[in-house]
Amino acid sequence: MAKAPVLTPQAEDFPRWYQDLINKAELADNGPVRGTMVIRPYGYGLWERMQQEMDARIKQAGARNAYFPLFIPQSYLTREAEHVEGFAPELAIVTRAGGKELEEPVVVRPTSETIINEYFSKWVQSHRDLPLLINQWANVVRWEMRPRVFLRTTEFLWQEGHTAHATYEEARDYAAHIHRDVYADFMVNVLAIDVVLGRKTPAERFAGAVNTLTLEGMMRDGKALQLGTSHELGTNFARAFHTSYLSREGRQELVWQTSWGSSTRMVGGLIMAHGDDHGLRVPPRLAPVQAVVLAVKEGDAVLAAVRSIGERLRAAGIRAEVDDRTDVPFGRRAVDWELKGVPLRIEVGPRDLENGTAMLARRIPGGKEPVAIEALAALLPAVLEEDQAALLRESRSRRESATSEVASVEEAVEAAAGGWARIAWSALGPAGEARLAEHGVSVRCLVAEDGSVPDSDDAPGTVALVARAY
């Protein structure tokens, strides 16, 4: 009788495969309140690595980390009409605390534009105070009707950047800088996901923004996942909160602002972009554990060897872990590490030691081969880089092969059944966008014909990227 697979095959039921993998790889559990999640240590380790890589890029862009309260007076949100209207269905509102009714209800943070602007208006007085570049690592709450772990949860973790600038041009350029040099750089060069950079349509913009830049990644089932956004807020929030400054010319001017964010949704993107029927495949530059050294059988010599190899790999700058749990069957341990997507397994048994070799198993391309133990520390950095590049090539190839050029709404809907479609925005327009929505298909972003980000919604040659999305 054939042995049942550890995971539901992707081709059989992709959503079930996704949930199976989260459970079997010990990434997360459902929380006690509907729509919440408990992130387990290995899943949180992935998020920590994302934080580290992103935080370094954010700081390189000049922003500094701060923290603002979780509770926001409800009156703050009502000051910017479009903003409160956009978030109203998702708000969690506290009306009673300390055993009594609150004089003013407070909102559990859905995003921080309003509360941060309250303080920006205090901190910004002169052109000398600009630009003001702030980032926050925090949790937010948006009451989710159709929750899915990592992808859509009532509470999730993220970073949100908020900036104030003296001119429109400075704000526009900074939003684009974050979009390109922080988010895209991280997602392409660390997550190994070949994202498309584009501009949201007016119907898809962030509530209160004048422009939203997005990064869209194709998952292995052909759907799109929005992995991050960067918004130009214009002077909308500055006007609502009276955030102004004295210019060099002695005039009171409103600041121009941006906000931008990415979240634990990226963990879901990592799973669905790279995972296969055997589990996760974690890009080496991201992986909390790049190589695990496994003792195949117990024995003093084997245990001493795996520990020594682990020390040498760590000394070579490789994030290595030793698995010397010989009281657990080797096959079970190997499957567990495969599920977790660790890029490299170095397996050492008595026979390997006799030959002075270890068996190197590569998770991303697959396959095993014996490698001299003495050569491992020098060899593995190049192997990890090869496998990082292979994942990105695979991601790019999938997107290119599953993207169709179409000329009508009907063709776009058909193409979106298993991939993406590109259609001239001038031929589609808002009316066509509304027709797509009737079929559960959306315009993910607008791009220029050459793949760059258009300067405006109606720039000549603009193409709409159309897909079903998470």
- Which amino acid does the sequence have at 358? A
For the chain, the helix, strand and coil percentages under 3-state DSSP, each to the nearest 5 = 40, 30, 35
Tell me the C-alpha distance between 323 and 325, whole Å. 6
Give yes or no for a contact between 12 and 4, defined as CB atoms under 8 angstroms apart. no
Task: Please report, in tens digits, the pLDDT of each residue of the chain (470 residues total).
Answer: 567 789 999 999 999 999 999 999 999 999 999 999 999 999 999 999 999 999 999 999 999 999 999 999 999 988 877 776 777 889 999 999 999 999 999 999 999 999 999 999 999 999 999 999 999 999 999 999 899 999 999 999 999 999 999 999 999 999 999 999 999 999 999 999 999 999 999 999 998 899 999 999 999 999 999 999 999 999 999 999 999 999 999 999 999 999 999 999 999 999 999 999 999 999 999 999 999 999 999 999 999 999 999 999 999 999 999 999 999 999 999 999 999 999 999 999 999 999 999 999 999 999 999 999 999 999 999 999 999 999 999 999 999 999 999 999 999 999 999 999 999 999 999 999 999 999 999 999 999 999 999 999 989 999 999 999 99
Q: Report strand pairing: 155-165 vs 196-199.
A: unpaired
Q: Do the bridges between strand 291-295 and strand 320-323 make them parallel or antiparallel, or are there none, so unpaired?
A: parallel
Q: Provide the 8-state DSSP code for 126.
A: B
Q: Which two tokens stand for residue 435?
A: 């027709």
Identity of the residue numbered 303? L
Contact 159, 183 (CB under 8 A): no
3-state secondary structure of 331: helix
Whether 257 and 165 have beta carbons less than 8 Å apart is answered as yes
CA 359 to chain centre: 33
pLDDT in tens, 284-324: 999 999 999 999 999 999 999 999 999 999 999 999 999 99
Distance from C-alpha of 241 to C-alpha of 73, rounded to nearest angstrom: 14
The angle subtended at Cα 187 by Cα 183 and Cα 189, nearest 5°, is: 115
Report the alpha-carbon angle 372-376-379, nearest 5.
Answer: 110
Q: Are 404 and 465 in contact (CB under 8 A)?
A: no
Residue 58: partners with Cβ closer than 8 Å, 6 or more residues away? 135, 159, 161, 178, 182
Nearby residues of 327 by Cβ (< 8 Å), 6 or more positions away: 298
From residue 182, how far is each of 49, 192, 448 by CA, in Å? 15, 14, 21
- Relative to beta strand 420-424, strand 463-467 is antiparallel
Provide the edge-to-edge strand list for the sheet that holds 368-372: 320-323, 291-295, 344-348, 357-362, 368-372
Q: What is the pTM of this model?
A: 0.95
